[in-house]
């Protein structure tokens, strides 16, 4: 731990989220983006014939980054308005342009457009990390595509699957999240310059009723800020449903990662698989032998937070009155930022865990073979019928022996003796060698291996191939 020990500090900043994501939600990112938006507004107004000079635009451009936060803080205490405090502060270093800063705009021009820009930039970070997690899981799925293992329904042993096929289940859910994220990124729009109630009345005054110039103004601002378009209609703010939609994408990622982490925690309990382990990692202060799935537990924990956090913008969207109310402000400052910081932290851990998952083949095999005789009974019975046996008699014998074997395992604590009982019964007309051939695990995994190959080839590899330039990211756990 490090930092200020006399006041609260968010664990997202001190322990979990990356510096990259923290910067996106920092004051410096916010206020420099305000200034970029003021530059874009002034440039467009200049090109469209308003009394804004090229020299004034250039002066604003030259002073985007030198923000005197002390001046801004002092001014805000005086005027009780953060936007006007920063207009004043910008003007102190741009004396020739101070009179045209924020011309025709309302506070939401910088506030809401910046929020959209920040969410776009944060989604791009999430996208990059998500693709790298998918890449790790794709490699794992391919490597273990043919390794048979127990599958579970109701957390009880069911028919077999493969280790790789199970990994495709995790991967498929992340692919669904990726598709949602791609759609949300591709359709994200700026608020634009809509004015106090969304009617653009102030710009009608500035441009003397020239509607085409007002529309062109928004197009020019959007292009300069890297967007294709602005929202078609709004009140004073962009619809708060956008926050809800974006956080729904983040919640989806949290859900998928939580599913993965819970499966891994159970598999680690079974001793079939483990998350990576650092050489000096301590599992328990009391029990030196323990290997706790601490990273997956953290994924579960943070995912729970993000999944609940999505309710905040949902309620905010549902309680906005008419053209706007201000009950959104305090809530969205916290909920949107922390959802992104939470998912950033989750994906960091996912990058770490999926890059070094450990499989114990002998444990996987042993646990599988303890249950396989029960699953093979249908095949054993059919082979006996083909040799002339009576299906009804054989079925009753299988049922009887299965109960005996279950009692041996559950009550007496012995090995599963179902195969021994069957071999010793002449009704089944089967030798131990013949039974061993029936009990080959690969006979019970269906199309698992082919499904892995087809899924990776048709759905995952196209995504990875089109994003080769960002692959190879990893994350080292520090705490």
Q: Which one, of 340, 341, 313, 343, lies nearest residue 328 by Cα?
A: 313
Distance CA 364, CA 354 (A): 19
Residue with tokens 């309680």: 319
Distance CA 365, CA 372 (A): 10
DSSP 230: B
Looking at 46, 102, 193, 284, which residue is catalytic?
284
8 to 3, 4, 13, 441: CA distances (angstroms): 10, 8, 11, 55
> How is 78-95 classified by DSSP, letter by letter?
HHS-HHHHHHHHHHHH-T
Q: What 3-state class would DSSP assign to 51?
A: coil
Distance CA 398, CA 378 (A): 9
DSSP 190: B
Q: Which one, of 84, 56, 58, lies nearest residue 71 by Cα?
A: 84
C-beta atoms surrounding 214 within 10 Å: 20
Looking at 2, 7, 154, 466, which residue is catalytic?
154
DSSP run (H or E) holding 161: strand 156-162
Distance CA 182, CA 27 (A): 27
**CB–CB of 357/140 below 8 Å?**
yes
DSSP 162: E
Q: What 3-state class would DSSP assign to 63?
A: coil
Cα 82–Cα 88–Cα 91 angle in degrees, nearest 5: 140
Rg of the Cα atoms in the chain: 31
- Asked if 285 is an active-site residue, the reply is no
- Asked if 335 is an active-site residue, the reply is no
Instruction: Name residues whose C-beta falls within 8 Å of residue 286's C-beta, 6 or more positions apart in sequence.
Output: none
Q: Which residues participate in catalysis according to the annotation?
A: 154, 284
């Amino acid at each position: 731990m490090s930092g200020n020990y006399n006041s609260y500090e968010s664990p997202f900043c001190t322990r979990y989220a990356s510096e990259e994501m923290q910067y996106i939600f920092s004051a410096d990112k916010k206020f420099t983006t305000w200034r970029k938006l003021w530059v874009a507004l002034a440039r467009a107004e200049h090109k469209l014939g308003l009394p804004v000079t090229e020299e004034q635009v250039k002066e604003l451009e030259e002073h985007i980054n030198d923000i005197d936060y002390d001046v801004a803080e002092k001014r805000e205490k005086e005027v009780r308005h953060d936007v006007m405090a920063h207009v004043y502060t910008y003007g102190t270093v741009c004396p020739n342009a101070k009179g045209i800063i924020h011309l025709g705009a309302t506070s939401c021009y910088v506030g809401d457009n910046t929020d959209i820009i920040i969410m776009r930039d944060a989604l791009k970070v999430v996208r990059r990390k998500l693709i790298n997690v998918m890449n790790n899981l794709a490699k794992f799925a391919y490597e273990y595509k043919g390794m048979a293992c127990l599958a579970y329904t109701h957390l009880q042993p069911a028919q077999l699957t493969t280790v790789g096929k199970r990994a495709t289940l995790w991967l498929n859910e992340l692919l669904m999240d990726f598709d949602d994220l791609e759609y949300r990124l591709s359709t994200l729009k700026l608020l634009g310059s809509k004015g106090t109630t969304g009617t653009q009345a102030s710009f009608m005054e500035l441009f003397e009723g020239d509607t085409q110039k007002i529309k062109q103004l928004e197009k020019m601002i959007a292009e300069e800020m890297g967007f294709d378009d602005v929202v078609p209609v709004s009140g004073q703010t962009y619809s708060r449903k956008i926050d809800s939609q974006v956080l729904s994408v983040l919640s989806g990622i949290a859900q998928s990662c939580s599913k993965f982490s819970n499966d891994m925690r159970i598999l680690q309990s079974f001793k079939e698989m483990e998350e990576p382990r650092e050489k000096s990692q301590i599992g328990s202060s009391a029990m030196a032998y323990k290997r706790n799935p601490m990273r997956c537990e953290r994924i579960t924990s943070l995912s729970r937070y993000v999944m609940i956090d999505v309710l905040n913008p949902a309620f905010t969207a549902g309680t906005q009155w008419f053209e706007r109310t201000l009950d959104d402000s305090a809530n969205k400052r916290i909920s949107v930022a922390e959802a992104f910081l939470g998912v950033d932290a989750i994906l960091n851990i996912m990058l770490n865990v999926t890059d070094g998952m450990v499989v114990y083949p002998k444990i996987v095999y042993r646990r599988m073979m303890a249950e396989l005789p029960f699953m093979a009974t249908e095949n054993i019975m059919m082979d006996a019928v083909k040799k002339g046996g009576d299906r009804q008699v054989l079925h009753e014998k299988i049922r009887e022996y299965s109960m005996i074997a279950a009692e041996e395992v559950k009550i007496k604590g012995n090995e599963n003796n179902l195969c021994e009982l069957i071999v010793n019964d002449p009704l089944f007309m089967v030798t131990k060698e013949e039974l061993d051939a029936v009990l080959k695990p690969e006979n019970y995994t269906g199309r698992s291996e082919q499904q892995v190959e087809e899924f990776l080839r048709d759905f995952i590899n196209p995504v990875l191939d089109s994003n080769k330039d960002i692959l190879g990211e990893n994350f080292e756990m520090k705490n």
